Every structure is written in structure tokens, then in C-alpha cells.
Structure 1
Amino acid sequence: MSDEVALWQETQARVGGLVRAVEQEDPAALRRPVPACPDWSGRDLLAHMVGLGADVLAGDEPDDHNPSWTQAQVDARAGRDGAALVDEWDDLAPRLADWMRAHGTRPLGDVVIHEQDLRGALGRPGGRDSGGFAAIRDRMTGRLATRWAEHGGGRTLGLVADDDGWTWCSADVDPSGADVVLRASGFDLGRAVVARRTATQLRGWVVCGELGDGVQAFAVLGPLPEQPLPE
């Protein structure tokens, strides 16, 4: 758990530094819409990231992270620029780290997933090889396994990264020998297991078997995007 707290701290600092740098170079950049979260701008997404930490510390965290809860975080911070939001985030970060040491590192998933969403909106790739990204990729396969059991028709599913050596299987067998095998970059597979890749993209990575209705197993955090995302 201490390792994952450190990963949260690294990711938060990296996102905060990105926001400060981008806002100095192009103040309008954070007003761009976020393709992965189309109802929000980059500033709105950042407000949610900050607000989630504040709400967790306040004991206000519903199990389902429902849209009303997340939108309230954005609305409460309307009018603040990126620097002000990062200032608030930096202030709560030590307390949130202590909270995670005592209660678990659920907030790591939010900051890691949304780092890439924000980078996609800003056109600033980065963080792809981070420990946080790898940790959340592994964590989210648990949800994928549950959904695959519902949608996979009794078949096994294997994911094989063609660049960083990462593999996963829904059963205790060699992933490359599963009934359905997807092969892509480790980054793309990591984004796929958090519902950030289209059904067409997923089907295009199949090297064995057919996804069929099993493609819905990847909708672990909501519907799959209709168009490819920039990150």
C-alpha cells in the first residue's frame, strides 16, 4: 500500500506540473474539451480530480462515484484557473496520502486514468510507462475478469502486450493460448481495460478467436467511446 501511495504522489505531482506549464504557455488550453470526458473541459476534469480528493477526506464518497457527485466537484470550483486548482490539490495531498495509508488507495485509479484523459485533451503525451499506470492496468483486470465471465460465453480471454512483455488471462492458462487473444501495445491494453478504446479498436487487436458480445466486457467504467481517443 505504501508503494501505491507513493505512485499517487508521483502522479499528482506530474499532473500538477503539467497543468502549471501548459497554463503559462497557453492559458486557453485547459478550456479545450476532453475527448474521453466530452461533457468537461480540461479545467473541469482537473476540478473533479481535486474535488474527489477533497470529498474523500471529508467522508463524502458514494460507492458508485455517480455523475451528480462528480459534477458537484466541478461546479464547486467554477471560475478557478488551473493554478488555483493545483494549489488546492497540493494543499490536500499530504492529508490524502495519510488517508490512503489508513484506508486504501482507491484514489490512485482516478488520478492515473484521468492523467491520460487530460493529456489527450492537451496534446501532451506522457506518463505511459509510469508505475501508477502499470498498477492500475493490473488492478482493472479484476473488473474485466468479472465482466468477461458475464459476457464471454464461457471462453477464456488473453491480453498480450507486444512491446513491454505484459500479459493477462481470465483463467490460469497461458494468455497466448486463450480462446480469444488480443495483442496490442501495453499502453493501449492498459487504456482498454479502463474503457478508453472503441469496440472497433478492440476487435482489430484480435489474433485468435472472436470477441463477439465479449467486447462489452471492456465497458468497465461506462460505455466504450464511439471514436478513437488521442491517448
Structure 2
Amino acid sequence: MLADHAGAGERTVPACPQWTVRDLLAHLTEICDRVITRFGGAACPIPETASAAELLRLWTERGPEADALLAADGEGKSRGDIMVMDAFTHELDLRYALGAPPPEAHAAWLRGFEVLVSGLGASLGKHGLPGMRIEIEGATWIAGTEPVAAVLSGAPVDVYRSLAGRRSPAQIAALDWLGDPEPWLRAFTWGPFTPPDEPVER
């Protein structure tokens, strides 16, 4: 996708306004390198001056090594799921930055959702809130504990972006809710995710 958008390296990423496309790609490449070294692979420090094209080459070269190391590790699935969620969330960030539509289908959708729903469930518990059911076409999850006291549903991309801190509280409240969304909104701030005050994506 990036190879088809030459010169986009300095474009701002709306969901991560402190980053350019090049900065986001550097983050992904650094995380990939960190995973490889954590599992015994050789480090490959990312040059601070690396261009977007150079970072894309490193990402392409290092990705299969990270995949193989995670697959060979007994605890690799849970760690791999987090990496899948992070990479897919940033792929969507890049799509919005480049004006590319979100994918209708993607191998990372369900695994990414599982990580995000788990994180939201933990946040619900910390806020003393009961569980909620999250529904998209073809899949349902319980965040937190049962019995649930609210149901959130909507288009997969809208629900995913809401769980990943990419939608404002007003946008989250505007999704399809069974129950008043207001008590639940504070739980959408958790871990690395904080909803923006104002919309950054349509």
C-alpha cells in the first residue's frame, strides 16, 4: 500500500497527529525488531535517518523472522496476538492517512478484536462497571463479566476504531447501543488508548 503512495512519508497520520507516515512505519519496524531480539534473534537497529522506503524494506525483510520466532515459542500466540493488533491498528491509521478505504475482509480482524475486547473488559472492571456485549456482523464478544448491562454494535471498522482509541466519545456514543452509552464511555480510555476529544476520522 505504501509502495503505491510514493512521497507520502511526511504526511501526517490523523489518528496519531504527532507522527508522520514515516514515523509510524519506524514504530512498526522498531516493534518488529524488539520482538525478534526478545526471542533470541539478532538486533537490527533502525537508523534515525532511514527514509520511509528504507523502513519499508526493513519491515518486509524482518517480518517473516518475527513470524517464525513467535510461532516457535510456546507463549507466542498471546504475544503474537498483541503484535497483530498493533500492526493492524496502525495499518488502518495509514489507510486513513492515505485516503485508502478500510478492508472489507482481513486476516487480522478477529484477532485484533479479541485483544481490544479483552483490554476493554479489564477497563470495565477497574471502573466498577458490569460487562457489555459487543456485536459486529458474524461475531459477538463479552467484555468484562456477565450478566451484561449494555450492548454495543455497529460496522466492524467503526467498532474496532472505537475500541482502539481512534474515535471521539461523541462518535462512540453515536454507535448502536442497547442502553445509555454515557456510563461506559470512560472505560474506552485504557492501556495505550485515549479517545480524541474531537473526531479525527469520519
- Aligning the two structures, in what range does the TM-score lie when normalised by the shorter sequence? 0.7 to 0.9
In structure 2, relative to structure 1, the CA distance for the partners of 1:41 and 1:128 (3 Å cut) is: farther
Structure 1 residue aligned with 2:15: 36
Query: Structure 2 matches for 1:6-155, cutoff 5 A?
Result: 18-23=1-6, 27=7, 29-59=8-38, 76-103=46-73, 104=76, 105=80, 106-151=82-127, 153=129, 155=130
Distance 1:126 1:228, change over 3 A: same
| TM-score, with length taken from structure 2 | 0.83
SS of the residue aligned with 1:38? strand
Structure 1 stretches of 4+ with a deviation exceeding 6 A read none
For these two proteins, the number of residue pairs brought into alignment is: 189
Task: Give the deviation of 1:169 after TM superposition.
Answer: 2.4
Q: Give TM-score, length-normalised by structure 1.
A: 0.73
Native 8 Å contact 2:84 2:108 kept in 1: yes
Change (3 A) 1:199 1:216: same
* 1:217 to partner: Cα distance: 1.4
**Distance apart, 1:87 and its partner CA:** 1.1
Structure 1 residues 128 and 43, CA gap change in structure 2 (3 angstroms)? farther
Comparing both chains, which one has the higher relative contact order based on Cα–Cα distances under 8 Å and sequence gaps of 6 or more?
A: 1
Which whole-Å deviations, capped at 9, do the CAs of 1:141-191 have from their partners, x for residues lacking one? Answer: 1111111122253x3312222xx2322223455xxxx42222211221122
Q: Work out the percentage of aligned pairs sharing the same amino acid.
A: 26
Q: Which has the higher helix share?
A: 1
Shift of 1:128: 4.5
Gaps of 5+ in 1: 1-17, 61-72
Task: Give the match's secondary structure for 1:228.
Answer: coil
* Whole-angstrom CA distance in 2 between matches of 1:78 and 1:166: 41
The one-letter amino acid paired with 1:139 is V
